[in-house]
Structure 1
Amino acid sequence: MIPKRIVIFTGGRLGTWALDFLTPDDMLIGADAGALFLVEHGLKPHIALGDFDSVTPAQLEYIRETSGETHDYDPIDKDYTDTELAWRLALSKKPQQIVMLGALGTRFDHSLANVHLLRMAQQQGIAASIVDEHNCIQLTADQTKLYNSSYTYVSLLPLSERVTGITLTGFQYPLHEASLEIGQSLGISNKLLLEEGQIAIKQGMLLVIQSRD
């Protein structure tokens, strides 16, 4: 059966706030320490995977006993991070949506690489987001709707070299057929004025980041 939504827990910043994003029908994938977080909070990952270099042997045994499946990878002989392995596995199942939690943390290289993973989902037409306690990050290449929520700000950053034809409706600072180039901060800290806002672009890839302090 094709899952409607897959939620990936990986090894960055996690807390009990992450549990609030779950619904009973979610398929859960735990990557390395993300799998440990799930089992320690009484949840059973459908799949746990990784090289498990962030957990102790006893913790790994607990993960194996609790998870539906466990996929082990050699820490040296692998091409992808544990997070990307989980992401590729989720994409292969063709869900309608993927949410990744724990993808942001103290390692900026890992955080940035994880944000770049959104491109693969966008190319396959799968709605995807990276969420932590303060941010929700999405990627659009055409149009997306946002709804007024607990996030204070909406920032737009190009993931491609140039994004053209940017039109914003329902925002404090509207745009019409605007362009952004990578390296510009023009799109930082906008706000929704209405209950619903729309972002449309004509060419490029645009990161849409909802955030709060």
Structure 2
Amino acid sequence: MHHRIIIFAGGKLGPWALQHITPSDTLIGADSGAIYLIHNGLTPHIAIGDFDSVTEEEMKLIRERSGNTISCDPIDKNYTDTEMAFRLALDMKPDQLLLIGVLGTRFDHSLANVHLLALANEQGIEAAIIDEHNEICLISKTTQFDRGQHSQVSLLPLSEQVTGITLSGFQYPLNDATLTIGQSLGISNVLTAEAGRIEVRDGRLLVIRSRD
């Protein structure tokens, strides 16, 4: 049976975020992401974090209405709340991981959360970050994407370089190309076919699908 875990963190959230949940998903609330789920009538299977961004009353609700609550000291911890939730989710060996509310006004946190995708990639677990306008994933092998609502596609290397990039179904083709960190060659391509194919020979490639 397909097992998907969705992590809700305390970044930008809205009604759009709830539309991604299905009844079979395991829900993890990281810090204030847990209270967001609860306020929307949902029960986090796990709530995790230092909970320094929730009130005492909200913390009481989290403990009462979550399947399991894992709290830690806000000072004596090695990971952000989102990374704690992410590592816990990886240990549960899902088929797919979805991160919602992990992008926001703190660019350092947003960038760190994008880098978390590398941990899932190492374990062969499909993972993606979604907000209202973007879907971000990391690939290291040939992958096919449906166009859906995201026709704009940008490619950015997360490793020093990515080699053997060949695109099919895109407005601007690449054939056995190499992208190196610092280049903008892969920005703002357009998926013109109903499905596009991205071939990668070596390296880790961020695929950012966007809509305005």
* Shorter-chain TM-score range: over 0.9
Structure 1 gaps of 5+ residues are none
2:144 alignment partner in structure 1: 145
Aligned position for 2:73: 74
Q: What's the CA shift for 1:152? A: 2.9
Q: Which aligned runs of 4 or more in structure 1 are off by greater than 2 angstroms?
A: none
Describe how 1:47-196 pairs up with structure 2 within 5 A: 47-196=46-195
User: For residues 29 and 100 of structure 1, what CA distance do their matches in structure 2 show?
Assistant: 10
Pick which of 52-61 and 146-155 moved more. Answer: 146-155
User: Is the contact made by 1:154 and 1:191 (CA closer than 8 Å) also made in structure 2?
Assistant: yes
Contact 1:3–1:93 under 8 Å retained in 2: no
- The offset of 1:164, in angstroms, is 0.6
- Residues 83 and 3 (structure 1), Cα distance of their counterparts in 2 relative to 1, 3 Å cut: farther
3-state SS of paired residue (2:190)? coil
Partner residue, 2:33: 34
Residue type at the aligned position of 1:15: G
Q: Is the Cα–Cα contact under 8 Å of residues 151 and 192 in structure 2 kept in the other structure?
A: no
Uncovered stretches (5+) of structure 2, i.e. residues with no partner = none
State how far apart, in whole Å, the 2-side matches of 1:162 and 1:3 are.
33
Question: Does the aligned pair in 1 maintain the 2:9–2:30 contact within 8 Å?
Answer: yes
CA RMSD of aligned residues (A): 0.9
Question: 2:3, 2:96 within 8 Å by CA — same for their partners in 1?
Answer: yes
SS of the residue corresponding to residue 44 of structure 2 reads coil
3-state SS of paired residue (1:53)? coil
- In the other structure, the counterpart of 1:205 is 204
In the alignment, is the contact (CA less than 8 A) between 1:3 and 1:27 conserved in 2? no
Using the size of structure 2 for normalisation, the TM-score is: 0.98
| SS of residue in 2 equivalent to 1:21 | coil
Over the matched positions of the two proteins, sequence identity in percent amounts to 62
- Number of residues paired by the alignment? 212
